[in-house]
Amino acid sequence: MGTLEPATPAADWLGDLKRITAKLATEAGALRFAPPVAHVYNPLDYARDPYLEYLARFGHPPKEAVFVGMNPGPFGMAQTGIPFGDVSAVSGWMGIRGEVGRPADEHPKRPVRGFACPRSEVSGSRLWGWARRRFGSAEAFFDRFFVANYCPLVFLEESGRNRTPDRLKRPEREPLFDSCDRALAQTVAVLEAPLVIGIGRFAEERARRALAATDVRIGRILHPSPANPVANARWSVQVEEELSALGLVLPATPPRSRSG
């Protein structure tokens, strides 16, 4: 098994991440999907500005671990360009804002309003809310970790229902997953991360496939989706137990500020 090595000098890590992003956005954006997929959003295209700011501010290597989600949610990354990108967490805690355009084929029930989106993204609110409570500042969290999405595309059915990548037809999945596998492996190499943590089973399985030829360890944490009853009951408690089992030492919870 080989060691995952950065393709170019570490000094150009941002250029590497930008090139990986651009290639993945182009390759994924060129694919076509049949019904029941009716609309496809590519946030790495229309919301690239905030995502590039995310890379520039928080993507510096090395990282202890890279967390990997499945794909953008309609009220998260689809709106802000940031993985699990709940608007309040991205604009408030991370301090990221930027120009967000519109998808070429927008679903009338799932409009992209960017940072003006009034809805909360529950999974993102849970993930970034936990990171804020445990680490305090975004800088403290990202000094050690990075969060990426495996697939960059949002798939919507005619009803507006979200369709996850694992439910795509096999002829549609294969070329998409080839591009996503390659981008994930390259991203982990640039970030020099010895551990990749899938947020949910799908992301873990794809990480294992994408990084099978490397020495990178693969783990998993519970997905914070509200569709998961366990996540609704005790997500942060279980996740901290899972991270501890992976050998990660978390900081003591920062004291609450006077402002709350």
Helix (H, G, I), strand (E, B) or coil at 165: helix
The DSSP-derived string for 144-155 is: TEEEEES---EE
pLDDT the model gives residue 254: 66
- How do residues 68-90 score in pLDDT, each as one tens digit? 999 999 999 999 999 999 999 99
Is residue 59 within 8 Å of residue 103, measured between CB atoms? no
Rg of the chain, C-alpha, whole Å: 17
**Integer Cα distance of 49 and 45 in angstroms:** 9
Could you tell me the two tokens for 226? 């509200």
Domain extent listing, the chain: 10-245
Any idea which fold 10-245 has?
Uracil-DNA Glycosylase, subunit E (3.40.470)
| Parallel/antiparallel/unpaired status of strands 195-199 and 65-69 | parallel
Please give the Cα distance from 250 to 248 (Å, whole number). 6
Q: Convert the pLDDT of each residue in 184-238 to its tens digit.
A: 999 999 999 999 999 999 999 999 999 999 999 999 999 999 988 888 889 999 9
Prediction pTM value: 0.93
Which DSSP state fits 223?
-
Q: Is the peptide bond before 36 cis (omega within 30 degrees of 0)?
A: yes
d(CA 126, CA 69): 13
Residue 1, pLDDT score:
45
pLDDT tens digit sequence for 5-57: 444 444 699 999 999 999 999 999 999 999 999 999 999 999 999 999 999 99
Closest CA to 42 of 31, 55, 58: 31
For 113-154, the pLDDT digits (tens) are 999 999 999 999 999 999 999 999 999 999 999 999 999 999
